[in-house]
Structure 1
Amino acid sequence: MSHKVTTHWKGNLQFEADNPNGKTVLMDTTPEHGGHNSGLGPKAMMLASLAGCSGLDVVSILDKMKVKISDFRMETTGELTEEHPKYYHSVTVDYHFFGKDLDEKKINKAVDLSIEKYCGVMEMFRQFAKVETNTHFHNS
């Protein structure tokens, strides 16, 4: 299976990329690099893709396990190399779960399944970065 994405220059340093489902996203850079901050930066999009991929897995698995959560967020932090081409040499994904009487055992299992088995973006990141994950529970 292959995916095709078309990325179209919209002027200055802004680009619009499509998705096989037809949705689009804007990319841009910061004013100090000549952009207008009118879209996501390409490297930040990579971190968002990592979290989104794993998050989709986790929510789907928790739903199948009938585990209830009231909120879920991920904070993804990437450390860039000093020299060009700058890339993420290490990445940390912090999974934050919120709810009443959270089933920590099942939530940990869902996160582990995503990290170890299902998240293809996580596997791609492992090819060039040290990936660390942490799970945090916020019981109300």
Structure 2
Amino acid sequence: MSAPPKLRVLIAEDEVLVSIFLTDVIEDAGYEVVGVARTADEAVALAGMHRPDIALIDGNLKGGSSGIEAAEAIARDHRTAIIFISGDSFLADAPAVKALDPVAVVEKPCMPDELVAVLAQAAERRARAA
């Protein structure tokens, strides 16, 4: 019997060191990172190419592009579980974020264990939706 396929994760994060940290934690937890986007447009394009199971999205991306708008497009066009990660503590209260019903809004900086737990919640949500 073969192992189940790894869940695919898209990262949308414009800070290089943060994206490296996220990639390491996600891959160490057994997930596959299918791409790292720096802008909202890149995130939407990568989601179209890779159809991720989970998208980990910063609320504010490079060049002032909106991670929220990227998440709206990705959630609308794909069955992707959305996790927001942001240094903005007010992001969780934004009406547009609440409307997306994300798995979680994680504040930066976050601990690896916290991120792994949220990824597990996203995986459970995906399994229930299947």
**Structure showing the higher helix proportion among its residues:** 2
State the TM-score bracket (shorter-chain normalisation): under 0.3
Which entry has the higher C-alpha Rg, 1 or 2?
A: 1
Normalising by structure 1, we get a TM-score of 0.24
Normalising by structure 2, we get a TM-score of 0.25
Q: Which structure would you say has the larger RCO, counting Cα contacts within 8 Å and 6 or more residues apart?
A: 2
